[in-house]
Chains A and B, each alone.
Chain A
Amino acid sequence: MYIFYVLLIFMIIAAIIAIETKNLLSAVICIGALGFGASLMFLFLRAPDIAITQIVVEVLGLIILIRSTISRDLTFISGDKEFFGTVISVVIIFVIFLAGIKVFETLPEFGTAIFAQASQGASQAYIKEGLQNTGAANIVSSVILDYRAYDTLGETTVLFTAIIGATAILRKKARKVLEEPDL
Chain B
Amino acid sequence: MKGMTIIVKTVSSWVKMLIVLFGIYIILFGHLTPGGGFAGGVILASSYLLIMLAFGREFVQKDLPLALDSKLDCLGALLFAMIAVLGLVLFDKIFFSNFLYLPGKEFELISAGTIPFSNIAIGLKVGASLFLVIFLLSTFRRETSANK
Chain A residues close to B by CB (< 8 Å): 64, 68, 71-72, 131-132, 134-138, 140-142, 144-146, 149-150, 152-153, 156-157, 159-160, 162-163, 166-167, 170-171, 173-174, 176-178, 180, 182-183
Tell whether B67 is near chain A: CB-to-CB under 8 Å. Answer: yes
**Which residue on B lies nearest to A65, using beta carbons?**
B137
7 contacting pairs across A/B (C-beta < 8 A)? A136-B31, A152-B118, A153-B84, A159-B129, A166-B136, A174-B66, A178-B61
Q: Which residues of A contact B64 (CB under 8 A)?
A: none
Residue from the list B81, B118, B143 in contact with A145, Cβ < 8 A:
B118
A174 with B111: CB separation less than 8 A: no
Q: Which residues of B contact A150 (CB under 8 A)?
A: 95-96
Tell whether B142 is near chain A: CB-to-CB under 8 Å. Answer: yes
**Which residue on A lies nearest to B135, using beta carbons?**
A174
Docked complex: B76-122 residues within 8 A CB-CB of A: 77, 80-81, 84, 95-96, 98, 101-103, 105-107, 111-115, 118-119, 122
A68 with B113: CB separation less than 8 A: no
B30 with A138: CB separation less than 8 A: yes
Q: A135-B31, A137-B106, A173-B140 are in contact. List 19 more A-B contacts (CB 8 A).
A: A68-B140, A134-B101, A136-B31, A136-B32, A136-B111, A136-B115, A138-B36, A141-B36, A153-B81, A156-B80, A159-B126, A163-B73, A163-B133, A170-B136, A170-B139, A173-B143, A173-B144, A174-B139, A182-B67
User: Taking A135-B113, A145-B119, A177-B143 as contacts, is the C-beta distance between A160 and B31 under 8 angstroms?
Assistant: no
**Which residue on B lies nearest to A157, using beta carbons?**
B77
Shortest CB-to-CB span from B39 to chain A, Å, is 11
User: Taking A135-B102, A145-B119 as contacts, is the C-beta distance between A178 and B66 under 8 angstroms?
Assistant: yes
Shortest CB-to-CB span from A104 to chain B, Å, is 28
Shortest CB-to-CB span from A60 to chain B, Å, is 10
B31 with A138: CB separation less than 8 A: yes
Q: Which residues of B contact A136 (CB under 8 A)?
A: 31-32, 111-112, 115
A68 with B141: CB separation less than 8 A: yes
Q: Which residues of B contact A156 (CB under 8 A)?
A: 77, 80, 122, 125
Docked complex: B49-71 residues within 8 A CB-CB of A: 61, 65-67, 70
Chain B residues close to A by CB (< 8 Å): 30-37, 61, 65-67, 70, 73, 77, 80-81, 84, 95-96, 98, 101-103, 105-107, 111-115, 118-119, 122, 125-126, 129, 132-133, 136-137, 139-144
Q: Which residues of A contact B101 (CB under 8 A)?
A: 134-135
Q: Which residues of B contact A160 (CB under 8 A)?
A: 73, 77, 125, 129
Shortest CB-to-CB span from A128 to chain B, Å, is 15
**Which residue on A lies nearest to B31, using beta carbons?**
A136
User: Taking A71-B144, A167-B136 as contacts, is the C-beta distance between A135 and B111 under 8 angstroms?
Assistant: yes
Residue from the list A135, A140, A171, A182 in contact with B105, Cβ < 8 A:
A135
**Which residue on A lies nearest to B81, using beta carbons?**
A153
